[in-house]
A and B are shown apart, each in its own frame.
Chain A
Amino acid sequence: MTLTNFRYGDVIHRCFRCGYCKFPINWMDVNNCPAYARFRMETYSCGGRLWLTRAWLEGEIEWSDHLADILYSCTACKNCEVKCPLSFNIDILNMMIAAKSEMVERGEIPSAAKEFLENIQRQGNPYGTSREKRDEWMEGTGIEAYQGQEYLYYVGCVGSYDTRGQETARLLGKVLQKAGVSFGVLGNDENCDGNEVRNLGEETLFEMLAEDNVAQFQGLGVQKIVTLSPHSYNAMKNDYPGFNGVFDVLHYTQLLQELIRNGGLDVSGGYNAKVTYHDPCFLGRWNEEYDAPRAILRAIPGVQFVEMARNRNGALCCGGGGGNFYLDLLGGSEDSPARRRVREACETGANVLAVACPNCLTMLEDAVKAEGLENKLTVRDISEIVGEACVIK
C-alpha cells in the first residue's frame, strides 16, 4: 500500500538532496539536523526523509516499522526549513508532518507515538497520568484559579507533570506573584495544547484540542495568555487563530523582559555565573524570539553571558521536539543531540546552561548526567535564574 492522500505530491520531487538542511547557519559542520547528528546517515536528514517519503508515495518502498521510526525521529526543529535554499522550503517540514499524518490515519506509527497520542486522548497529557493530578504542581504556592485576571498562565503538560518541569512551573508562578502580575491558572481543567500532537501528524486530535481550548479560554473571558513552554506559545499564537482563538499570547521570557525593563521586577539580587543560552526551537526558529531571553540574562547583575558557537537560528535542537522528549527515538548515544549540545555548552566555559523551555530543560539535564558533566555545567531554566535574582527561595 502506498501513500494515498499526500498533499505535496507535486513538489516533493524537487528536493535534490543538496544537503544544506543538515547545516547550522555558519556552515561549521553538518550536524545541525538532530536526527542526522544522532544517526549520521543521510536517511535521517530532512533530504533523506523527503526522498524516502517520495519513494513511499510512488510505491518503490512499503511502509515498515523502520520507515516510521525514521520519519518520527524528526523533531520539527525547523533547521531544514531555515537552511533549505529552494523556494519550496516553507513546505518541507509540512511534508514530514503530512507523511506522519498518513501513518496516523493508517494506524501504523511507532508504539511510543501510539501511547503518547492515546494518553492525550484519555488523560489530556502524554504521560497518561490522571487528569485529576494535573494541578499537583501548584500545591502550597497560593497560585489562584483563573477568574478574569489579566493573564491566563498556561503551564502545559511538561510543567504540570514532569518533576523538573513542575519546579520551573512553580518558580515562574512565584516570580509572577512577586512582580504583582494579575494571573490565574486552569489547574485540573487545563488540557494539552496540542503542539506536539500536530507535529506527530494527528491533525484531527489537534483540531479537537485547539477547538476545546479556544472555547474554554473564550468562555472564561481570557484575553492575554502567558505560557511556560514555547510549544504552547507556538500553538496558541500561530495555530489557535485558525480556530477563531485570537489571544494576546506571550512566552514568559517576553513578559519577564518587559517587567524587568519597566521596573516591575527587581532582579538586583543578581546571579553570579558564566551563563550560555540554548534557544528552544519553538521560541527561536519557529517564532524568531531570540532577544527576550538574552535581554533578561544581560539585565541580571553577576551574569557573564557567552554565546555557544551555534546560536539563534543556527542553534542545535535538544532532540525533544516532535514528541521526542517522550518518544525518545534520538536517545541512547553520545551522538544524541542533547549530549552534543551540552558538550558544546561546556566548550564556552560557561558553568550554567540557561534554557527557556521545560522540554529542553529535562533533555539537557539528562544529557549533562549522561556526559558526566555535573561538576562543570548546571542546566537552569531562565525562570529559576530570575527567581534567584529576585530572591525567591
Chain B
Amino acid sequence: MSSILVVAEHRNQTLADVSYQVLSKGRQLADQAQMELLAAVAGVDIDAYAKELTRWADRVIIVNNDQLEEPLAEPYQKLIAHLIREIRPGIVLMGHSSFAMDLVPSLSVELGIPLVTDCVDIFWQNGDILVTRSIYNGKANASYSFAQSETILITGRVGEFPVEEGQRQGWIEEIEFAFEEECDYKKFEGYLEVEAAGVDITQAEVLVSVGRGIKEKKNLEIVEELARVLGGVVSCSRPVVDYGWLPSERQVGLSGKTVQPKLYLGLGISGAFQHVVGMKGARMTVAINKDAKAPIFSVANYGIVDDVLKVVPALVNKISELKGRTE
C-alpha cells in the first residue's frame, strides 16, 4: 500500500474534532506500516487549516474552490473521487460525521471500492488492515477484513481515537480542481441552528438528564423538582426529544450538545454511545436505571439499579431534608 489519505472536514471556521482524531489514528497506522500520510482540505481561505494539518501529515493537499467551502456531499464526492484516481491511496480515512454519512456510501459505489463505516478500531494484522465496529447498539463488536482493492474507505467513530500531538512538518501541495457541471438537482439552502430558548444546558453546573426510562412526559414534573432542589437544569437523551417531551436544545449527545457539568445525573438513560459522547466530560456522573447491564453504568461514578420513578421522589425528599438542616 502506498499511502493513507485523511480528508479533513471544517465548518464555521473550525476543523472538526473528529478530523483531528482520525488524523492521529492515520498517523499511527502510517508509521506502523511505513506509509505516507496525506491530508486533504478544500474550500476557500484554507491555508491555516493546511498548516495545522502539516503537524500530522507528510503532505497536505489543498484545493481552493468556493464550491467546496461548505461540507456538502455532492461536490466533495467529485473531489475525493478525483483525488483517489490521481493519488491512488491505499486507505481513505474520514470521521464518521453527518457529512461523511451523506458522502462515503455513494463514493464507494461510484469507485467500486469497499467501505466500512463508524469504526471504533482500525489496525494492521499480518500486513492487512482490519477494522472493528460496534454493533447492536454497543452490545457486541464485530471485526471486518477487506477484499483485495487498490483503495479502501473507512470512517472512524467520533471520540474513539485520542488526539496525539502532531510532530511532523509536512509540506503543502495545491491541486487545481474544477467542476465540469453544476449540480442542479440538489440545492443546498443553508443551515438552521437550533435556538436556545432561555435554557443553555452547556452552562449548567448540574444537569439532571432524562431518557425514555421516565416513560411519560408528565413525569418530567418530578424531575424538574429534583433539578430545582439541586440547583440544576433538566437535559435529556435523544428519544425524549423524538417523543416531543422536551425541545431539542435540551438534548445531550452527538446530535445535541456537549456538556461538562460538575454533576451529571442520568435518569433512565441507557447510555448509547451517541449520548455518552456528549457527557463524558462531566466531573461526576450518577446513573439511575433499572437495567443493571445498561452501558451508562460503565461511564458513571455511582449507580443505582432501580426504577427512576421510585428513586427520584425519595431523592427529592432526602435532598430537601439535608438542605433544610444546613440552611
Contacts and interface: CB of A to CB of B under 8 A. Distances in A.
A331 interface: yes
A112 B313 CA distance: 20
Interface string B218-250: 110110000000000000000000010000000
Contacts of A326: 215
B218 A329 contact: yes
B314 interface: yes
A328 B313 contact: no
A332 B221 CA distance: 8
A112 B243 CA distance: 11
A155 interface: no
A112 B314 contact: no
A372 interface: yes
A111 B313 contact: no
Contact of B317 (A111, A115, A331, A372): A372
B159 to A, nearest CB: 29
B11 interface: no
Contacts of A30: none
A366 interface: yes
B187 interface: no
A354 interface: no
Q: In the complex, which range does the number of interface residues on chain B fall in?
A: 10 to 19
B309 to A, nearest CB: 8
Nearest to A327: B216
A29 to B, nearest CB: 25
Interface of B is mostly: helix
Nearest to A111: B243
A111 B243 CA distance: 8
A369 B309 CA distance: 12
A370 interface: yes
A328 B243 contact: no
A332 B243 contact: no
Given A111-B243, A372-B317, A332 B218 contact: yes
Interface string A351-368: 000000000000000100
Contacts of B186: none
Contact of A369 (B215, B216, B313): B313
B215 A112 contact: yes
A165 to B, nearest CB: 13
A331 B312 CA distance: 14
Contacts of A332: 218-219, 221-222
B216 A370 contact: no
Contacts of A370: 313
Contacts of B139: none
A328 B314 contact: no
B325 interface: no
B215 A366 contact: no
A366 B312 CA distance: 12
B237 to A, nearest CB: 16
Contacts of A372: 317
B310 A366 contact: yes
Contact of A331 (B218, B243, B314): B218
A283 B35 CA distance: 77
Interface string A75-114: 0000000000000000000000000000000000001100
Interface string B186-220: 00000000000000000000000000000110110
Given A111-B243, A372-B317, A328 B219 contact: yes
Given A112-B215, A328-B216, A331-B219, 8 more contacts: A328-B215, A328-B218, A328-B219, A328-B309, A331-B218, A332-B218, A369-B314, A372-B317
7 contacts: A111-B216, A327-B216, A328-B309, A331-B218, A331-B219, A369-B310, A369-B313
Interface of B: 215-216, 218-219, 221-222, 243, 309-310, 313-314, 317
